[in-house]
Structure 1
Amino acid sequence: MPIELKFPDVGEGIAEGEVVRWLVAEGAAVKEDDPLVEVLTDKANVEIPSPVTGTVVTILAAPGQIVKVGEPLALIEPAAGQAAAAKHVAATPDRPSSVPRETIEPGRGSPSGKAPGASGGVLATPVVRKVAKDLGVDLGVVPGSGPGGRITEEDVRRAAGTKVPAGIPSKSTSEERVPFKGRRRMIARKMVAAKTRVPHALLVDEADVSRLLAERAKLRETGEREGVRITILPFIMMAVAGALRRHPALNASLDEDREEIVLKKKVDVGMAVDAGDGLVVPVVRNADAKSVIELAREIERLSAAAREGTLAPGDLAGGTFTISSVGSIGGLFTYPIINVPEAAILAAHKIVTRPVVRDGEVVPREMMYLSLSFDHRIVDGGAATRFLNEVVRRIEASAI
């Protein structure tokens, strides 16, 4: 009797995910712990493994579908001798069982080399499959123009030589429609939740980073020997981490269900990374206990993993504060959105040589704006200002 493969509780308060792609097709023989499906959550991509050795009978959740924890993804027929294991899985269907997404070799689970879909070794939704069946089109020979090689209804009708009905976008029109899904949809939902639930307040200040830049120049030779690139971000992160120790109200979150402010004992600083397919926020653990070189090495590792799509769920979970460093891109300053449920986020901007007054004289200095968004339910303006003053002081004194 087939058992259900359900979307498990992967931890970190994740309640749902989006099916990205199937790594096997219907009818495929699988072994216990073989990865079956890739699911995108608001933390990371995870692969859901098979709970038993057997055969994938039916795929129930198509790519692009949102599934909640506990909902079925597929039916698996256990192999002979797997009855005991199947009984155990049926009794505990929601066991937390997932692994970080790894790079998938082309053609894995599909002899044709195409990314496998809901059945037949191709990526196509049930609606598209029905259209193909009605028109007598073999999906196995249809090139997909959708994301990840997915076959669209337009692809099927084009292959059948029939007219594309109104409502299906054509590549010959003056616009392009991109599916609002995947990481972009996850980001949008989180941003809307943050702005509608959290009363944001903004505080802006500036820091003289002239001494910091001189310190960075000194450390670059050490960084070259250590094999790590020294940027501005580890210096800012060290200043922020030290300030968080002195101002714990900013290193906190709000548990709305229990109506409690949670003051974090660890300083785990997230950093916003533009990963190409959307924003991700990997976390540097124990940032207050690391040197500039150690921070630079960890920042480099996490940034590379974010852009390659190989971050583990643990790299993205449990941050206590977030830094968004947008200076390399440009812009005067921004109003960053808080990475809920954290209490605040700091944005660091581009460095500009500006005239400032020092000891009664106008001199050129390297200046940088800092903008702090904070949750006014948790943090008052005075506490936020004292924290930002501390960050500025640490940056300007190069006390790092």
Structure 2
Amino acid sequence: MGIHLIKMPDIGEGIAEVELVEWHVQPGDAVVEDQILADVMTDKATVQVPSPVNGTVESLGGKVGEVMAVGSELIRLQVDGAGNIAANAGGTGAARADAVAEPAASSNQQPESEAASQPPKPAKQPEPVPDSGRSVAPTSAVIPTAARAQSEKPLASPAVRKRAWDLGIELQYVPATGAAGQITHTDLDAWLARGTAGAGATGRAAAYASRDDEQQVSVIGLRRKIAEKMQESKRRIPHFTYVEEIDVTELEALRARLNARWAGERGKLTLLPLLARAIVLALRDFPQINARYDDDAGVVTRYGAVHLGVAAQTESGLMVPVVRHAEALDLWACAAEIARLAEAARSGRAARDELSGSTITLSSLGALGGVVSTPVINHPEVAIVGVNRVVERPVILGGAVVARKMMNLSSSFDHRVVDGMHAAEFIQKIRGYLECPAMLFVE
């Protein structure tokens, strides 16, 4: 048996440090070639690290949330053959201290000739933790009531975590029956069934029971990047927000007609590509808004190309994929690109260049958009256009009270670069295009 050392990969672009976001294996696990071992993150791009060999995990070189240098020890595998380092080679300080490896037994080693005749020993499996509350019995067995230790993080897939969140279930208290102690959908079903069984007797008491539990959540991975980005934006940029009400009745009627005619051939249109087109056209008269401000150098760079950031909510948090050259895309091409980028962001497959380089951002919460918002500018840009939800309200039109579809735009600007009057004129320009949508197609 030998040791194969895997180092933190070089992500490229001169990056010296990356954050360890998630381990997919634990000491004692058997792995095969190309199996994903860990997720690491730089900026907002997540990279998966695969195993180049078959083997068994001997030790892990870092903890989730730790920022590690490129080239540092990531993981050690026991492999058949010589491996790529000597078996007794020491690791780097903290990485080896945190590793969970098989204890050395040099005093009981057999002579080489005798050891060669012995069949290889199976990989050592991690010993069970008595007080973890995890059960390895079949799902039909009685579910134990013991909870995990507060410091022990429950293992579950993103789909299971989302379902538990939707159901209001604390995964910390759900016993696991999956491989390596992972919580499965079956475990959630069993937990729900158990709660339902006792609801008749204790339902009202449980609903009004006092609670003293606490939960500490480490801000790591994408959440850490979002926190740093928001803090940097608010620290550097003096925001001001301008809100305008827009009548989108005609725009929605046009969208319905376009979808009725072309949805089958070209795809369905949402409001976003229409909004994107209005922004592109309005920016022709306000080039100072399609810009990025390097406040360290004191330089504002105005762009002819509109690289439109479109904020997308993912399970991990907010990400902003970029529609390149939005000025060159028609409605359906823009809609297809927005859909592709949003799916890539939600599935964690968005590349680094798809998440950077935007010159202005469009943010929408869809049906949850509320009446008004104060969106945070995506530093180092100087503007963000926020879309609130569409509601049907009574409006006085031509002296009569009629029902119209109304929507607010809540947009923020960097007051160092954009004057209030120009910001208002820019939004009024967008309003003109949206309230008379035929103008979107007139050059």
Length-normalised TM-score, structure 1: 0.70
Q: Does 1:363 align with 2:402?
A: yes
What residue is the counterpart of 1:67 in the other structure? 68
What residue is the counterpart of 2:312 in the other structure? 273
Shift of 1:200: 0.7
Q: Does 1:381 align with 2:382?
A: no
Shift of 1:127: 5.4
Shift of 1:340: 0.8
Q: Does the C-alpha gap of structure 1 residues 4 and 311 become closer, same or farther in structure 2, counting only changes over 3 Å?
A: closer
Check the 8 A contact 2:278/2:430 in 1, yes or no.
yes
Check the 8 A contact 1:238/1:292 in 2, yes or no.
yes
Q: Does the C-alpha gap of structure 1 residues 64 and 139 become closer, same or farther in structure 2, counting only changes over 3 Å?
A: farther
The 5 Å alignment of 1:74-223 reads 74=74, 129=100, 139=126, 141-142=128-129, 146=153, 148=155, 174-223=213-262
Q: Number of aligned residue pairs: give it.
A: 336
The 5 Å alignment of 1:221-260 reads 221-226=260-265, 228-260=267-299
SS in 2 for 1:249: coil
Check the 8 A contact 1:57/1:74 in 2, yes or no.
no
Shift of 1:208: 1.0
Shift of 1:388: 0.9
Q: Does 1:47 align with 2:54?
A: no
Query: Take 1:125 and 1:229, find their aligned partners in 2: how far apart are those partners?
Result: 54
Check the 8 A contact 1:343/1:379 in 2, yes or no.
yes
What residue is the counterpart of 1:329 in the other structure? 368
Check the 8 A contact 2:61/2:96 in 1, yes or no.
no
Gaps of 5+ in 1: 84-117, 119-123, 160-171
Check the 8 A contact 1:347/1:370 in 2, yes or no.
yes
Instruction: State the Cα RMSD in Å.
Output: 4.2
What residue is the counterpart of 1:8 in the other structure? 10
SS in 1 for 2:231: helix
Q: For residues 18-49 of structure 1, give each alpha carbon's deviation from its aligned partner in whole angstroms, at most 9, with x where no partner exists.
A: 20235677899998x99764212332212357
Amino acid at match of 2:10: P
Q: Does the C-alpha gap of structure 1 residues 372 and 10 become closer, same or farther in structure 2, counting only changes over 3 Å?
A: farther
Check the 8 A contact 2:27/2:100 in 1, yes or no.
no
Shift of 1:53: 12
Query: Take 1:199 and 1:82, find their aligned partners in 2: how far apart are those partners?
Result: 54
Shift of 1:191: 0.8
SS in 2 for 1:302: helix
Q: Does the C-alpha gap of structure 1 residues 395 and 16 become closer, same or farther in structure 2, counting only changes over 3 Å?
A: farther
Q: Does the C-alpha gap of structure 1 residues 125 and 138 become closer, same or farther in structure 2, counting only changes over 3 Å?
A: farther
Q: Does the C-alpha gap of structure 1 residues 178 and 227 become closer, same or farther in structure 2, counting only changes over 3 Å?
A: farther
Check the 8 A contact 1:30/1:56 in 2, yes or no.
no
Query: Take 1:53 and 1:236, find their aligned partners in 2: how far apart are those partners?
Result: 51
SS in 2 for 1:250: coil
Q: For residues 208-245 of structure 1, give each alpha carbon's deviation from its aligned partner in whole angstroms, at most 9, with x where no partner exists.
A: 10110011011112443136232111111111122123
Q: Does the C-alpha gap of structure 1 residues 126 and 383 become closer, same or farther in structure 2, counting only changes over 3 Å?
A: farther
Q: Does the C-alpha gap of structure 1 residues 245 and 63 become closer, same or farther in structure 2, counting only changes over 3 Å?
A: same
SS in 1 for 2:250: helix
Q: For residues 268-323 of structure 1, give each alpha carbon's deviation from its aligned partner in whole angstroms, at most 9, with x where no partner exists.
A: 11111111221111111111211111111112222222222222222212111111
Q: Does 1:296 align with 2:283?
A: no
SS in 1 for 2:367: coil
Query: Take 1:14 and 1:48, find their aligned partners in 2: how far apart are those partners?
Result: 16
Length-normalised TM-score, structure 2: 0.64
SS in 2 for 1:178: coil
SS in 1 for 2:368: coil
Higher relative contact order (CA 8 A, sep 6+): 1
Whose Rg is larger?
A: 2
Gaps of 5+ in 2: 86-90, 104-123, 135-147, 158-171, 176-180, 182-210
Q: Does the C-alpha gap of structure 1 residues 65 and 257 become closer, same or farther in structure 2, counting only changes over 3 Å?
A: same
Q: Does the C-alpha gap of structure 1 residues 208 and 308 become closer, same or farther in structure 2, counting only changes over 3 Å?
A: same
SS in 1 for 2:229: helix
Shift of 1:393: 0.9
Query: Take 1:337 and 1:71, find their aligned partners in 2: how far apart are those partners?
Result: 36
Query: Take 1:372 and 1:10, find their aligned partners in 2: how far apart are those partners?
Result: 35
